[in-house]
């Protein structure tokens, strides 16, 4: 089942022909099936953030379309899009973005509160998530009382509670040490395997990308190449490094 389809995306910042206008994306097409775990990698300025902004509906393409679960989001009105983003998309960011005045459990409940779920359902669901990610012992703590790795596990739980069609993650391990990064990546692996969740990760980090099943490389706003994991994760790391060597550019974490 196709979850995400991007067709011939073009993004131009500024007006065509105008000095300083940038063609950030040129004819980018992408497709993801249910249960796929994809990393997008590319040099600084290659268009990764722009692509993520278009896929998540934060920004509109100059031309082309983004279809998620059969719905074209590039044409949705503000309200329709806001609802769609809340129900069908899960977001994980580098900065965790938790609410400091709410406990871990309350943070996880926020998307369900917005959907007016029953108190019983919310309790059960929050508990299920906290058990899944090993954070039930910190349910009543506040974000500033827990580690970065724990905060990111809360953020992943929050992204999952409304059972989104796809999780979009922007440098999810960017603020984490290697041990916490591995924990988060294993959480992603677990939900892909257990729930067939579809996850797209934008990352500079070879270690993070190696947990994915596929990597798409972009360069100068165009898709450069794709690779698929066939053997072990260690072998995939070597494959990713080889591709990055061909791709060129700087700013990768190895």
**Which among 38-46, 106-114, 143-151, 176-184 is the span making contact with ligand ATP, rule CB under 6 A?**
38-46
Angle between helices 178-195 and 119-132 (to 10 degrees): 120
238 belongs to the binding site for ligand ATP (CB under 6 A): no
Please state, in angstroms and rounded to a whole number, the distance separating the CA atoms of residues 69 and 33: 10
**Which among 30-38, 39-47, 69-77, 101-109 is the span making contact with ligand ATP, rule CB under 6 A?**
39-47
Q: Which of 48, 105, 125, 229 binds ligand ATP (CB under 6 A)?
A: 48
Q: Please, what is the minimum distance in Å from the beta carbon of residue 50 to ligand ATP?
A: 3
24 belongs to the binding site for ligand ATP (CB under 6 A): yes
Nearer to ligand ATP (CB atom), residue 55 or residue 160: 55
- How far lies 101's CA from each of 116, 142, 232, in Å? 20, 7, 42
27 belongs to the binding site for ligand ATP (CB under 6 A): no
Q: Which of 44, 145, 225, 232 binds ligand ATP (CB under 6 A)?
A: 44
Q: Which of 1, 22, 80, 226 binds ligand ATP (CB under 6 A)?
A: 22
Please state, in angstroms and rounded to a whole number, the distance separating the CA atoms of residues 53 and 136: 33
- How far lies 13's CA from each of 18, 43, 48, 162, 249, in Å? 10, 19, 14, 33, 22
Angle between helices 148-160 and 178-195 (to 10 degrees): 20
**Contact residues: ligand ATP, CB under 6 A:** 13, 22, 24, 42, 44-50
């Amino acid at each position: 089942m196709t979850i995400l389809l991007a067709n011939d995306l073009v993004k131009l910042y500024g007006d065509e022909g105008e000095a300083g206008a940038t063609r950030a994306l040129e004819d980018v097409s992408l497709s993801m099936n249910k249960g796929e775990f994809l990393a997008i990698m590319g040099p600084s300025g290659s268009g990764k953030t722009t692509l993520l902004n278009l896929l998540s509906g934060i920004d509109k393409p100059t031309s082309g379309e983004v279809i998620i679960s059969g719905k074209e989001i590039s044409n949705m009105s503000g309200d329709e899009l806001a609802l769609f983003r809340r129900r069908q998309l899960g977001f994980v960011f580098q900065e965790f973005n938790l609410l400091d005045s709410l406990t871990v459990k309350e943070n996880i409940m926020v998307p369900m509160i917005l959907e007016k779920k029953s108190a019983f359902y919310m309790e059960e669901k929050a508990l299920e998530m906290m058990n899944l990610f090993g954070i039930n012992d910190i349910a009543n703590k506040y974000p500033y009382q827990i580690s970065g790795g724990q905060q990111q596990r809360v953020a992943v739980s929050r992204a999952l509670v409304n059972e989104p069609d796809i999780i979009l993650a922007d440098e999810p391990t960017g603020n984490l040490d290697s041990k916490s990064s591995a924990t988060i990546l294993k959480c992603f692996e677990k939900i892909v395997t257990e729930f067939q969740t579809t996850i797209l990760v934008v990352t500079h980090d070879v270690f993070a990308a190696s947990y994915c099943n596929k990597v798409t490389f972009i360069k100068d706003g165009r898709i450069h190449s794709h690779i698929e994991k066939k053997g072990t994760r260690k072998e995939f790391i070597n494959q990713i490094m080889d591709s990055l060597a061909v791709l060129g550019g700087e700013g990768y974490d190895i």
